[in-house]
């Protein structure tokens, strides 16, 4: 019976609410400790099993996309609070269950961080795994990127039905030879490949490896002002994707590929993708006193470069970069030196904030960008940038993970309108 | 004036988190003083250019160290000659280990170094990871260490900096990095020169005077870098 663990978890959740806090991580941790078999037993009862989404960049948004697609036909359980450790999946299951322990879901879609994905598959063999990319990230935790790739390979080997694989990332593509489940490929069109450099290419190395071009379940055919064009099998559609940036068009293609292994038509899949809103802090925008403010999460060099590239298209009036260095951000801020900021040198005013505001300002200075204000305190820094932005203009905020929660609250409190 | 020629060794293979930033820092600090500079990337199979003033090498993944191993060996005589000739070198982490006599991995493999530095590195089961601030002759050096190899200095090499026990070269003896003539090795990523401006200028001063130029460097405004160093030094590991 799942009643006791669920009741325990729900009581922990209720206790947290009384303390004015939210989140699934702590109740998940309590249940994980007290009832180690709860997760496997609960998930085994799902008729359509579990999809695990992992990789360095794009997990949260892609998980949201897969869940939205599957919602066209199924009841979906997902850890959409961004809590991507095992305890987050348990917390999600607990809060979606009735007090008697019944879970009304057909399928689960879980975002899991690379190390926790390994811990997850040790307890529950997922039917499907979707792998996005391997970039250098949190090397203070993972040591090196090849180690991260080996973690993902272990996760993929656990899948029983299908593994979605990115054909444009050599480390991900190589995992195909190590799996028993069916490989399901997704890729971008040849002429778009320059938009998605692999880790090697980002660091100036490696010519682009040749890759097979046929047999992909989903392909990103085009991405431009007209919209995002994705081909699923023989069916192709162009549609506006609300989550901006080329990387999100690639994430949508990944989601489409793994979704195609369910009993869903391409139309179901496109329908789901059209409905997806951007995830928390991934390009969400706010209207504050007539100014358009958007918030972008940055946490590693590849992601920061993608966000800068996407932002430049939108022609910002002012930029504020917020860098913290707590555990969830990565303790090592060396990675800021692997982002190229020289493109900002053309006069867009930039300010920095967060614990490592000075580090960020030093980095900018060496790329020829003088940061106007350097401030450890987040809200005053953002308010100053807001005041300096004229009505009708855009303020872009790039922020690491731990700073984002406070910033998000602050922006919501000040916003007249929160746009998806 | 001939541009100061800086060789960036293995920019593609040995470039863990920000080591390339040391190249950016040195280049800009010269440019800000209107001193001409030229960066020459040298990869596997490339020849070292003539008239090198400064050589920078970064850290790499274990696999990358394997890829460059043979090429690095081949360069041994040239690198030893350059060091003997007073060419300034800064080697971070992996490059530091390979400039030594040997690296004995915890798996039992002996990776020969080129013997420019009188140091030996032995692999260990634990990784030394974290923010790191150490005191050197050129002020406080601030960076981030991430290594499993433990390095012991021989008689020819002197420690670059003093630390508290439990970090740095071997995790025990309270030293970090080494200096031997004009060759410097350190475990500090970060990149180390970004938050250690006096050390950056020391490298430039040595390279400039070696080739007969004045080592008088116009002062720069390093207030931000020193502020960043102060914050980093206070961050727990």
Nearest to A93 by CA among A79, A106, A80: A79
B62, closest residue in chain A (CA to CA) = A144
- The CA–CA distances, whole Å, from B105 to B62, B111, B150 equal 10, 8, 10
Nearest to A339 by CA among A364, A316, A376, A318: A364
**To the nearest whole angstrom, how far is the Cα of B21 from the nearest Cα of chain A?**
6
- The answer to whether A171 and A261 have CB atoms below 8 angstroms apart is no
Structure tokens at B204: 């430039």
Phi and psi angles of residue A53, each rounded to the nearest 5 degrees, phi first = -110, 125
SS3 B91: strand
CA B89 to chain centre: 7
ω into residue B129 within 30 of 0, thus cis? no
Q: How many domains does chain B have?
A: 1
Half-sphere exposure of B139 (CA within 13 A, CB side): 16
Written as tens digits, the pLDDT of chain A (420 aa) is: 578 888 888 888 888 777 766 666 778 888 888 888 898 999 999 999 999 999 998 999 999 999 999 999 999 999 876 677 888 888 888 888 888 888 889 999 999 999 899 999 998 999 999 999 998 777 766 667 888 899 999 999 999 999 999 999 989 999 999 999 999 999 999 988 888 877 777 776 665 667 776 789 999 999 987 889 999 999 999 999 887 778 899 999 999 999 999 999 999 999 999 999 887 777 788 899 999 998 888 988 888 988 887 776 567 789 999 999 998 898 999 999 999 998 887 788 999 999 999 999 999 999 999 998 888 889 999 999 999 999 989 999 999 999 998 899 999 999 876 765
Q: Which residues contact B33 (CB under 8 A, 6 or more apart)?
A: B217, B218, B220
* pLDDT for B139: 92
Alpha helices (H) along chain B: 20-31, 62-74, 76-84, 94-99, 197-210, 223-234
Q: What is the pTM of this model?
A: 0.81
Tell me whether residue A16 is exposed, middle or buried, using C-beta atoms within 10 angstroms of its C-beta: 0 to 12, 13 to 18, 19 or more.
Answer: middle
Give ipTM to 2 decimals.
0.95
**To the nearest whole angstrom, how far is the Cα of A359 from the nearest Cα of chain B?**
5
Instruction: Please indicate if any CB of chain A lies within 8 Å of the CB of B131.
Output: yes
Rounded CA gap, A76 and A11, in Å?
Answer: 23
Per residue in B163-210, pLDDT (tens digit) is 876 689 998 899 999 999 999 999 999 999 999 999 999 999 999 999
Query: Which among A146, A332, A363 has CB closest to B61?
Result: A146
Rounded CA gap, A306 and A304, in Å?
Answer: 5
Structure-token match 């799996």, residue found: A179
- The answer to whether B47 and B81 have CB atoms below 8 angstroms apart is no
CATH code: domain of residue B11: 3.40.50.880
CA A253 to chain centre: 14
Instruction: Give, as one character, the DSSP assignment of residue A5.
Output: H
Instruction: Please indicate if any CB of chain A lies within 8 Å of the CB of B61.
Output: yes
Nearest to A335 by CA among B146, B213, B44: B146
Rounded CA gap, A15 and A11, in Å?
Answer: 6
- The answer to whether A321 and A360 have CB atoms below 8 angstroms apart is yes
- Is A356 close to B231, i.e. CB distance below 8 A? yes
How high does pLDDT run on average in chain B? 92
Structure-token match 């439990």, residue found: B166
- The CA–CA distances, whole Å, from A198 to A168, A202, A400, B183 equal 8, 6, 22, 34
Rounded CA gap, A90 and A38, in Å?
Answer: 8
Instruction: Identify all chain A residues contacting B129, using CB atoms and an 8 Å cutoff.
Output: 140
Instruction: Please indicate if any CB of chain B lies within 8 Å of the CB of A25.
Output: no
Per residue in A317-335, pLDDT (tens digit) is 899 999 999 988 989 999 9
**Owning domain of residue B177:** 4-233
Rounded CA gap, A267 and A344, in Å?
Answer: 41
- Residue of B93, B132, B147, B178 marked catalytic: B93
SS3 content of chain A, % helix, strand, coil (to 5): 45, 20, 35
Instruction: Identify all chain A residues contacting B130, using CB atoms and an 8 Å cutoff.
Output: 140, 331
| CA angle, A244 then A328 then B223, to 5° | 90
- The answer to whether A89 and A40 have CB atoms below 8 angstroms apart is no
Tell me whether residue A219 is exposed, middle or buried, using C-beta atoms within 10 angstroms of its C-beta: 0 to 12, 13 to 18, 19 or more.
Answer: buried
Rounded CA gap, A2 and A7, in Å?
Answer: 9
Tell me whether residue B95 is exposed, middle or buried, using C-beta atoms within 10 angstroms of its C-beta: 0 to 12, 13 to 18, 19 or more.
Answer: buried
- Is B231 close to A355, i.e. CB distance below 8 A? yes
Nearest to B123 by CA among B94, B99, B144: B94
Rounded CA gap, A365 and A345, in Å?
Answer: 10
Report the residue of A335, A357, A366 to disrupt the B interface, i.e. the one with the largest count of B CBs within 10 Å.
A366
Per residue in A115-159, pLDDT (tens digit) is 899 999 998 999 999 999 998 777 766 667 888 899 999 999 999
Structure-token match 């030229």, residue found: B38
Interface of A with B in 296-335 (CB under 8 A): 325, 331-335
Structure tokens at B27: 């280049």
Instruction: Identify all chain A residues contacting B227, using CB atoms and an 8 Å cutoff.
Output: 358, 374
- The answer to whether A280 and A60 have CB atoms below 8 angstroms apart is yes
Is B93 one of the catalytic residues? yes
- Is A359 close to B15, i.e. CB distance below 8 A? no
Rounded CA gap, B84 and A215, in Å?
Answer: 58
Is B8 one of the catalytic residues? no
- Is B16 close to A144, i.e. CB distance below 8 A? yes
């Amino acid at each position: 019976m799942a009643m006791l663990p669920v009741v325990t978890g729900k009581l922990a959740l209720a206790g947290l609410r009384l303390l004015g806090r939210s989140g699934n991580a702590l109740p998940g941790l309590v249940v994980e400790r007290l009832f180690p078999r709860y997760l496997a037993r609960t998930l085994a009862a799902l008729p359509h099993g579990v999809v695990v989404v992992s990789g360095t960049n794009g997990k949260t948004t892609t998980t949201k996309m897969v869940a939205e697609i599957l919602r066209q036909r199924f009841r979906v359980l997902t850890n959409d609070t961004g809590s991507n450790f095992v305890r987050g999946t348990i917390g999600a299951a607990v809060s979606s269950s009735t007090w008697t322990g019944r879970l009304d879901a057909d399928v689960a879609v879980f975002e899991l961080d690379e190390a926790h994905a390994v811990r997850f598959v040790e307890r529950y063999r997922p039917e499907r795994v979707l792998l996005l990319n391997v970039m250098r990230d949190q090397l203070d935790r993972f040591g090196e990127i090849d180690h991260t790739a080996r973690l993902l390979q272990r996760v993929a080997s656990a899948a029983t039905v299908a593994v979605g694989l990115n054909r444009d990332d050599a480390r991900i593509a190589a995992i195909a030879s190590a799996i028993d489940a069916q490989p399901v490929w997704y890729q971008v069109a040849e002429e778009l490949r320059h938009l998605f450099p692999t880790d090697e290419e980002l660091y100036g190395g490696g010519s682009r490896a040749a890759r097979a071009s046929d047999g992909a379940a989903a392909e990103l055919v085009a991405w431009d002002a007209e919209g995002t064009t994705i081909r699923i099998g023989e069916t192709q559609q162009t549609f506006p994707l609300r989550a901006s940036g080329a990387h999100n068009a690639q994430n949508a293609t990944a989601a489409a590929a793994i979704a195609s292994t369910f009993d869903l038509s391409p139309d179901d899949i496109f329908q789901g993708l059209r409905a997806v809103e951007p995830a928390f802090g991934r390009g969400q925008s706010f209207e504050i006193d007539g100014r358009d403010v958007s918030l972008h999460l940055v946490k590693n060099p590849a992601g920061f470069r993608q966000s800068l590239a996407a932002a430049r298209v939108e022609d910002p009036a002012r930029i504020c970069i917020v860098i913290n260095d707590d555990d969830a951000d990565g303790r090592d801020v060396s990675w800021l030196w692997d982002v190229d900021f020289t493109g900002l040198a053309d006069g867009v005013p930039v300010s920095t904030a967060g614990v490592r505001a000075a580090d960020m300002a030093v980095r900018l200075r060496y790329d020829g960008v003088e940061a106007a204000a350097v401030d450890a305190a987040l809200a005053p820094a953002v308010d100053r940038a807001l005041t300096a932005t004229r009505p009708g203009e855009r303020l872009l905020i790039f922020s690491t993970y731990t700073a984002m929660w406070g910033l998000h609250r602050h922006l919501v409190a000040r916003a007249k309108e929160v746009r998806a | 004036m001939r541009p100061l020629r800086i060789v960036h060794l293995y920019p593609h293979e040995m470039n863990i988190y920000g080591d390339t930033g040391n190249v950016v820092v040195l280049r800009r600090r010269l440019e800000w003083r209107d001193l001409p500079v030229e960066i020459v990337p040298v990869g596997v199979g490339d020849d070292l250019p003539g008239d090198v003033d400064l050589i920078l090498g970064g850290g790499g993944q274990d696999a990358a160290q394997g890829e460059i191993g043979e090429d690095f060996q081949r360069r041994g005589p040239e690198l030893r000659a350059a060091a003997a000739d007073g060419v300034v070198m800064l080697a971070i982490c992996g490059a530091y280990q390979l400039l030594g006599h040997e690296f004995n991995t915890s798996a039992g493999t002996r990776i020969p170094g080129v013997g420019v530095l009188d140091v030996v590195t032995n692999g260990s089961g634990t990784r030394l990871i974290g923010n790191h601030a150490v005191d050197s002759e050129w002020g406080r050096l601030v960076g981030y260490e991430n290594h499993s190899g433990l390095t012991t200095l021989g008689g020819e090499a002197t420690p670059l900096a003093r630390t508290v026990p439990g970090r740095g070269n071997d995790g025990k003896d309270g030293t970090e990095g080494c200096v031997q003539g004009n060759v410097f090795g350190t475990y500090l990523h970060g990149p180390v020169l970004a938050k250690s401006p006096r050390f950056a200028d020391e490298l430039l001063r040595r390279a400039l005077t070696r080739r007969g130029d004045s080592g008088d460097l116009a002062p720069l405004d390093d207030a931000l870098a020193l502020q960043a160093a102060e914050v980093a030094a206070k961050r727990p590991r």
